[in-house]
Amino acid sequence: MNSAVAAALPKIVRVVPRSRNIEAALLLFAIGLNAFELCQIQLSTLEILTLDVFKYLLPPAILALVIHVILRRRASEADPMILPIALALNGLGIAMIYRLDLAAIRSGGTELFADKQVIWTVIAMAIAAAVIILVKSHLFLRRYVYVSMVVGIVLLISPIIPGLGKNINGAQLWISIGGLTFQPGELAKIALTVFFAGYLVTRRESLAIVGRKIIGIRIPRARELGPILMIWAASLLVLVLQRDLGTSLLYFGIFIVLVYVATGRSIYVIVGLTMFFTGALVAGRLMEYVSGRIGSWLNPFAPENYDAVGGSYQLAQGIFGMAHGGLLGTGLGGGVPQLVPLAESDFIIASLAEELGLIGLFAILCLYLLLVARGIRIGFNHSDDFSKLLATGLSFVIALQCFIVIGGVTRVVPLTGLTTPLLAAGGSSLLANWIIVGLLLRISDTADRGEKQVAA
């Protein structure tokens, strides 16, 4: 009898691992936090609680719990912190967008975003659940490395196809099909990350050890620099044709980071950054759009920059809003973030910084930092090189996008048109980032058990 119980015990432990119980507790905390945010907004703006709280709280919460149940059955060893962090960020974004909608209704506005954001969140989380269920092992993606390259390139160039692409706010980043506007570049970054990871696995040896030494530095051969030159040219093409500096930097940055992770050679980072910034400076001289962005970044309060191409009015308003929030913020519902153009999308960080203060902004940054750190940890818990590069690349997509967006809002770097992952309004961004969450959960479930125990 005792032997039978002992034989069954490991099965019970595998069905209900401790990590899943930790995840359940963190999910409940994230749901409670989102409920508090919505209630605080209603009490501050409407001075009464309504049933609308449940409309914005329950759909993401229910989907998160469904994903949790799926993880218990299909990926019991998945990382327990990724899903709660993603839910907390997504819920905070919905709460702020709802707060901006209430301000728009008071001023007679008709363009509302919170309901759309909830719908897109449900769709995105459902697709993330499908990724966990249908993708038995992420290693099958290695068989479609060049297919991923083709898909990524097609998605990348689709906005410049006549009749399909759509120009919004001066950037050619969207396509319109049947009245539905979508940003294909959000999915392109996932496809290209798969391609970069698979390509570098096969080329890492030649990239790392082949080449001539000049002044003690091993310079790679021209054939090994070829892919870097191609990606550099493609990123500049995005900058010129789609008029978006942030997307161009994102694609090139992902590749350079993965080259460094694959080879451990900093020379590639130095060469890559030099090439990109040289190209960007030349484009700044030749393209009014880029020069306007740089001028607004250097002096956002100059009157001549307000009405320039890529003008600084939005940036200046965001800075004023963050200054109004100060250290502790005005409290959710207590500020005037609606004065900033595109406060629900490009400048949602400025809206949150005004109402949550500098301390709240640091808390949000800590959530992103923890999410990226868990993703990189997942990669380095794998002995398989493709898994390592894929998890690191997907994590760095989130990290670099946060740096570009939040850095632009706070004047660390020139302002670009990217969206803050999981926070900002936008269906294509939500879809892409929840797919990344699903892939990271699947990759973490297959990490080496022994290494996971050591890392823990």
Give the pLDDT confidence of 318-373 residue by residue, as tens digits. 999 999 999 999 999 988 998 888 888 888 999 999 999 999 999 999 999 999 99
Does residue 371 fall inside a structural domain? Answer: yes
pLDDT tens digits, residue range 184-206?
A: 878 888 988 898 888 888 877 66
Does residue 1 fall inside a structural domain? Answer: no
Which range is most confident: 34-43, 69-78, 230-239?
34-43
Is the CA virtual torsion 186, 140, 394, 196 positive or negative?
negative
Closest CA to 378 of 394, 398, 362, 400: 394
Q: How confident is the model at residue 306 (pLDDT cuts 50, 70, 90)?
A: low
Does residue 9 fall inside a structural domain? Answer: no
Q: What is the mean pLDDT of residues 25-36?
A: 96
Q: How confident is the model at residue 69 (pLDDT cuts 50, 70, 90)?
A: very high
Does residue 6 fall inside a structural domain? Answer: no
Compute the distance between CA of residue 392 and CA of residue 388 in angstroms, rounded to an integer: 6
Residues 6 or more apart whose CB falls under 8 angstroms from that of 269 comprise 256, 257, 259, 260
Among the listed ranges 68-82, 316-330, 435-449, which one has the minimum average pLDDT value? Answer: 435-449
Residue 331 three-state SS: coil
Does residue 229 fall inside a structural domain? Answer: yes
Compute the distance between CA of residue 418 and CA of residue 244 in angstroms, rounded to an integer: 9
Which range is most confident: 16-20, 152-156, 177-181, 389-393?
389-393
Which phi and psi angles does 381 have, rounded to 5°? -85, 0
- At 420, the amino acid letter reads T
Is the confidence at residue 100, as pLDDT, over 90?
A: yes
Compute the distance between CA of residue 407 and CA of residue 160 in angstroms, rounded to an integer: 27
The number of domains in the chain is 1
Indicate the pTM of the whole model. 0.88
Burial class (CB in 10 A: 0-12, 13-18, 19+), 39: middle
- Per DSSP, the residues of 257-320 read HHHHHHH--HHHHHHHHHHHHHHHHHHHHH-HHHHHHHHHHH-TT-HHHHTSTT-SHHHHHHHH
pLDDT tens digits, residue range 251-296?
A: 778 888 888 888 777 777 887 778 777 777 776 677 676 777 777 7
Contact 259, 199 (CB under 8 A): no
Does residue 52 fall inside a structural domain? Answer: yes
Does residue 5 fall inside a structural domain? Answer: no
Does residue 283 fall inside a structural domain? Answer: yes
Structural domain range at position 278: 16-455
CA distances from 218 to 208, 214, 253 (A): 9, 6, 22
